[in-house]
Amino acid sequence: MRLTINTFIPACKILFLLLCVINTTCGRQFPGNGYSLESFYPAEVQYEQIKKALSLLEPAPQWVPNWPDSSVKLGQVSGVAIDNTGQLLVFHRASNVWDENTFTLKNVYNGIGTEPIPHPTILVLNDTGELLDMWGQNMFYIPHGITVDHAGNVWTTDVALHQVFKFEAGKRNYSMVLGQRFEPGSNNYKFCKPSAVAVLKNGDFFVADGYCNHRIIKFAPDGTIILQWGTAKGDSPFVMNVPHALALAEERGLVLVADRERGRVAAFRADNGSYATAYRSWLIGGRLFSVAYSPVHGGRLYVVNGPGSMVPVRGYVIDFTTGKLIQTFAPDGDFSNPHDIVTSPSGDKVYVAELNPFKVYKFIDEVLGNETREEKANVHVKPTATIEVYGSPVPMGEEWDWWRGAAGGAGAAALLALAAFALLRARNTGRKGVTRRRWEYGQGEFKLRRLLERRRFTRVHSDDSDDEPAPMLPHHHPPANA
Ligand SMILES: *[C@@H]1O[C@H](CO)[C@@H](O)[C@H](O)[C@H]1NC(C)=O
Ligand SMILES: *[C@@H]1O[C@H](CO)[C@@H](O)[C@H](O)[C@H]1NC(C)=O
Ligand SMILES: *[C@@H]1O[C@H](CO)[C@@H](O)[C@H](O)[C@H]1NC(C)=O
Ligand SMILES: *[C@@H]1O[C@H](CO)[C@@H](O)[C@H](O)[C@H]1NC(C)=O
């Protein structure tokens, strides 16, 4: 049949009706539904709308006020980690700060020749927020990331030194250091402001390198490079803009990257660096500072966003398999500059480091806490870790893409027909490797929204533009420091 405008438009109408039916039967509950964000709305209106949308989410986990003990003195808090006994390690800059005078334009620290921070930069707190131990004095200049591995070793990064340190469990001096002291670089021996470390059970580890190189490097336990990926420019899921924090979903075989200035959590296969999927949401905005992961209830992501993106600054919990936002949390009022987040393995305790004001916050999830206690009572046996080609999350950010299609105007109609065809075909051939598109009728005009659902674990989609940020909201990025 020859497609003329006379047959095409009625065909579109029929398809549209069909899609309305499909949409209402298959549409997902998403807290943003019903709040249409028009880009011509003033920022305050958008902000209020987003706030309203967020109020539909469960306010959890709950903030624990008056924690830690008031005797705990902090500088800029850059990192938090939980050790194997459940104690919290807080990494802070004590008397030093990172501001616009800290580095030269070539990323060289301006304080070379000065003494390192003379105060303990690592504080160990117990559950009730009391200071049990402190160390890490006379060593660091601008502390950034901290993590504790399965063997109890502590790993840190310092962006001024451009180095990564490993401290054996219980030791106060490092046993391994990677990178050249005060020398930024981008080769196999130098980092440039490395931000974070994550360590697999077998001892292999990842470094997020970081503020200038925008790459992830995987190392063997002895510090030799296994592989690396990530780039600052181009159009692929490997493009990152400040990989700022790392987490592992080890039972899924994934390493999770908080891709800060692209407002997403990107998941890559831990074994070979293949791109798996990404999560983001217009409710979270264009900046995402840190991510933590708990395998509880099929997997949950805990993230914090940042200021400058015209959205509330909060913590968010994302269901890993569906990609839906399920909870949001913040201290009384919102955060100002949350910088790092960590969760206990069962998700019952969550800690957030804040840069300014100098704070660390504790949140508890009573439901998960009770479940964990019950599980312990029943001597629940968890399956051992396996590398699994995991299910089909819906990457966050589905609300971000509609305007692109809508902007297409007439093109949208053609897309509509194509996508309906794809959708119908998809429903016949199963869901594997499928992009589902969904159209919503709202406020008297077509709006293209897309519901993305795909599995892409076996192939690197280097031409995938779905992961390009679509900055619908005005961005006012502070300098890429902090
Ligand atoms: C935390 O440490 C303080 C001081 O050592 C102690 O009194 C308190 O009982 C500890 N809390 C927990 C939960 O262990
Ligand atoms: C810490 O270890 C490094 C190298 O292993 C060594 O050069 C340095 O002197 C040690 N520092 C202290 C205070 O022992
Ligand atoms: C958790 O357990 C405690 C003690 O059994 C109980 O008081 C509390 O209501 C429970 N909380 C939730 C949210 O289930
Ligand atoms: C990573 O491993 C998966 C599964 O074996 C494979 O399909 C994929 O092509 C690999 N990617 C790379 C970059 O080697």
Please give all residues whose beta carbon lies within 6 A of any atom in ligand 3, as ranges.
366-367, 370
Strands (E), 149-221: 154-158, 163-167, 176-178, 194-199, 205-209, 215-219
**Once rounded to an integer, what is the mean pLDDT over residues 170-184?**
98
Contact 315, 368 (CB under 8 A): no
pLDDT 10s digits, 28-79: 323 333 333 444 567 788 889 999 999 999 999 999 999 999 999 999 999 9
Please give all residues whose beta carbon lies within 6 A of any atom in ligand 4, as ranges.
269, 272, 274, 458, 460
Rounded-to-integer distance, Cα 52 and Cα 39, Å: 17
Q: Residue 387 — very low, low, confident or very high, per pLDDT cuts 50/70/90? A: very low
Residue 128 has a CB neighbour count (10 Å cut-off) of 10
Q: Is the pLDDT of residue 226 over 90?
A: yes
* Substitution candidate for ligand 1 out of 67, 71, 82, 128 with most atoms within 8 A of CB: 128
Q: Which of 414, 457, 471, 460 is nearest to 437 (CA)?
A: 414
List the residue whose alpha carbon is closest to atom 7 of ligand 1. Answer: 130
**Residue 443 — left, alpha, or beta (φ > 0 → left; ψ -120 to 50 → alpha)?**
left
Least confidently predicted of 129-133, 296-300, 333-337, 427-431: 427-431
Ligand with smallest separation from the Cα of 272:
4
Is the minimum distance from the CB of 99 to ligand 1 under 6 angstroms?
no
Ligand 2 geometric centre to CA of 135 (Å) = 14
Structural tokens at position 47 = 């902000």
254 vs 27, higher pLDDT: 254
For the chain, give the percent of residues with pLDDT over 90: 65
Least confidently predicted of 330-334, 360-364, 425-429: 425-429
Q: Which of 276, 266, 278, 325 is nearest to 300 (CA)?
A: 325
Residue 321 has a CB neighbour count (10 Å cut-off) of 16
**Once rounded to an integer, what is the mean pLDDT over residues 451-462?**
24
Average pLDDT, the chain: 78
Q: What residue has token string 């899921």?
A: 237
- The pTM of the whole model exceeds 0.85: no
Please name the residue ranges forming H helices in 230-365: none
Rounded-to-integer distance, Cα 124 and Cα 181, Å: 26
The CA-CA-CA angle for residues 245, 481, 103, to 5°, reads 120
Distances (CA, A) of 10 to 15, 22, 231, 422: 9, 18, 46, 19
Query: Given the CA of residue 138, which atom of ligand 2 is nearest to it?
Result: 13
Least confidently predicted of 11-25, 70-84, 146-160, 272-286: 11-25
Indicate the DSSP class of residue 85: T
pLDDT 10s digits, 401-423: 322 323 333 333 333 444 444 44
CA 310 to chain centre: 18
Rounded-to-integer distance, Cα 185 and Cα 267, Å: 25
* Substitution candidate for ligand 3 out of 366, 367, 375 with most atoms within 8 A of CB: 366
Ligand with smallest separation from the Cα of 137:
2
**pLDDT at position 238:** 97
Residues near 475 by beta carbon (within 8 Å), at least 6 away in sequence: 286, 287, 308, 309, 310
Q: Residue type for 138, please?
A: N
Edge-to-edge order in the sheet of strand 77-82: 77-82, 88-92, 122-125, 131-135
**pLDDT at position 14:** 56
For the chain, the C-alpha Rg in angstroms (whole number) is 23
Q: Residue 379 — very low, low, confident or very high, per pLDDT cuts 50/70/90? A: low
List the residue whose alpha carbon is closest to atom 13 of ligand 2. Answer: 173
Ligand 1 geometric centre to CA of 85 (Å) = 13
**pLDDT at position 59:** 95
Ligand 1 geometric centre to CA of 166 (Å) = 27
Is the minimum distance from the CB of 128 to ligand 1 under 6 angstroms?
yes
